[in-house]
Amino acid sequence: MRPGPSPRRRAPEGVVEVFVADEQNDHPVDVGRWSKLVEQVLAAQGVKGAAELSVMFVDEPTMAGLNQRFMEHDGPTDVLSFPLDDDMVELGRWPDASSTGPDRGPGSPDEAPMLLGDVVVCPSVAAANAPTHAGSYEDELALLLVHGVLHVLGMDHADPLDTEAMQQRERELLAELYGPLSADPWAAVQP
């Protein structure tokens, strides 16, 4: 297995925080359940210290707009990942370090949490794809979240070796942290 790139800087002491927002009304989303799964995936991938990742569940028009803007593809997709390039962030660009203010001393980028990125999931597309992919809506959401987090952490499926490594890691993480899927979503996409 070829591991993905590691974060560019070590996170300062602290805890990994996952922020989940359900910004759609088309399908039910158990925010607490999916937040816990994402936290477990990050831990299993070795993410430690003060780090943050955001997950958003959005409707089809929102996802279509993001897909067009960032991927230049028409229509909604199931998941998009937006890793942050940690080396690009300088003091003053971090929300908690932009000014010293009366209650803060001079800050350092090394003290700010490592911002991992964002994962955006469209439950409507997940529900439509589930019967012919992971089997159930819940299984499809679990797969999409694991897939999206692995992208944020640097894994990809641009070539057959990367695809094989990413699919294998998805299988391992889902088996360990979620349980068996109702169907085999990788059967149709063998490298």
- The whole-number average pLDDT for the span 16-33 is 96
- The whole-number average pLDDT for the span 23-35 is 97
pLDDT exceeds cutoff 70 at 88: no
Q: Rounded to whole angstroms, how far apart are CA atoms 107 and 94?
A: 10
Top-confidence residue, 10 or 2: 10
Domains of the chain: 16-88+112-182 (3.40.390.30)
Helix 31-44 to helix 137-152 angle (10° resolution) is 40
Q: Which amino acid is at 102?
A: P
pLDDT band at 152 (very low <50, low <70, confident <90, very high): very high
Separation in Å, CA 121 to CA 1, 80, 81, 108: 26, 7, 9, 33
Q: Rounded to whole angstroms, how far apart are CA atoms 89 and 104?
A: 20
